[in-house]
């Protein structure tokens, strides 16, 4: 099995169940050293997200709001929104493993492992949607995460933007969602959503950590300061850290953020 050719096919697979099945076959072969890295392979610039035939894509401002989480509609909107983040994260991890050549094998092991985790998260959320008599694709979505992958075509920028900014933002946002859910009247579904989000939050710390490791690796390789991180984020998200609220200091420290970075983001002494 050829590494880059197979990953390209998986990335372009549009139906979620088929994509997951193809990846699992590929990942098993990779783990058992039955995958060959092609010496020369021209990577493809993807113009459209793989989920375009499954989901209706709209602007982020028009995505349905997650109001009244005690109702079936509110719960579907919340679970679907997180499922879409996780599904997008599958392709982000796969694209990271596909797009950047000539790196240590540990790099590819890390991002394929992340893809495997994201698939498991997506399947957990899909099961909750099924219990709510819904499925992935029932709610309109935005493609902001796909656009981030299109715009970051160097390893330095990809590691800064995707795991260390976008995914790290989830470490801040998820605890706020959990806090809101825990204040609601208890129900079986609310308990299941809380349990699922807690699992995802704990495991996403490791994903951000992997991004931190490879961000610092490429900084060292290219002889640039890790402080370039904030320059990169300002380039793509000018308002990024100006709006930082409820910075999850503990989770971000575990994921590799320095105290100086955290204090810059939180605009106060935090560690």
* Integer Cα distance of 252 and 261 in angstroms: 10
pLDDT at site 169: 93
What is the distance in angstroms between the CA of the first residue and the CA of the last residue of the chain? 48
Q: Which pLDDT value is given to residue 66?
A: 77
- What pLDDT is recorded for position 267? 83
For residue 264, the model assigns a pLDDT of 87
pLDDT tens column, 107-129? 999 999 999 999 999 999 999 99
- Domain ranges in the chain are 3-266
Phi, psi at 14, each rounded to 5°: -95, -35
Phi, psi of 152 (to 5 degrees): -105, 95
CB 86 within 8 A of CB 121: yes
Per-residue confidence in pLDDT tens, the chain, 271 aa: 999 999 999 999 999 999 999 999 999 999 999 999 999 899 999 999 999 999 999 998 888 887 889 999 999 999 999 999 999 999 999 999 999 999 999 999 999 999 999 999 999 999 999 999 999 999 999 999 999 999 999 999 999 999 999 999 999 999 999 999 999 999 999 999 999 999 999 999 999 999 999 999 999 999 999 999 999 999 999 887 766 678 999 999 999 999 999 988 888 888 8
Q: Which CATH class is domain 3-266?
A: mainly alpha
Q: Which has the closest alpha carbon to 115: 187, 13, 185?
A: 13
């Amino acid at each position: 099995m050829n590494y880059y050719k197979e990953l390209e096919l998986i990335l372009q697979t549009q139906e979620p169940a088929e994509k997951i099945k193809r990846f699992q076959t590929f990942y098993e072969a990779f783990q058992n050293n039955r995958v060959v890295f092609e010496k020369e392979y021209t990577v493809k610039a993807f113009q459209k997200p793989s989920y375009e035939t499954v989901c209706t894509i709209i602007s982020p401002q028009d995505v349905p709001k997650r109001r009244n989480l005690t109702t079936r509609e509110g719960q579907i909107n919340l679970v679907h929104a997180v499922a879409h983040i996780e599904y997008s994260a599958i392709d982000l991890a796969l694209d990271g493993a596909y797009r950047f050549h000539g790196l240590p094998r540990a790099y590819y092991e890390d991002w394929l492992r992340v893809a495997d985790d994201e698939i498991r998260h997506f399947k957990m959320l899909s099961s909750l949607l099924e219990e709510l008599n819904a499925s992935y694709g029932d709610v309109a979505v935005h493609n902001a995460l796909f656009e981030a992958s299109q715009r970051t075509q160097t390893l330095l920028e990809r590691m800064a933007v995707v795991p260390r900014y976008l995914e790290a933002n989830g470490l801040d946002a998820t605890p706020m969602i959990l806090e809101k859910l825990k204040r609601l009247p208890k129900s079986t579904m609310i308990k299941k959503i809380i349990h699922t989000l807690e699992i995802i939050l704990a495991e996403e710390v490791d994903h951000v950590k992997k991004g931190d490791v490879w961000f610092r690796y490429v900084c060292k390789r290219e002889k640039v300061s890790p402080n370039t991180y904030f320059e990169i984020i300002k380039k793509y998200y000018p308002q990024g850290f100006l709006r930082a609220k409820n910075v999850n200091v503990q989770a971000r420290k575990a994921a590799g953020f320095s105290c100086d970075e955290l204090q810059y983001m939180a605009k106060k002494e935090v560690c």
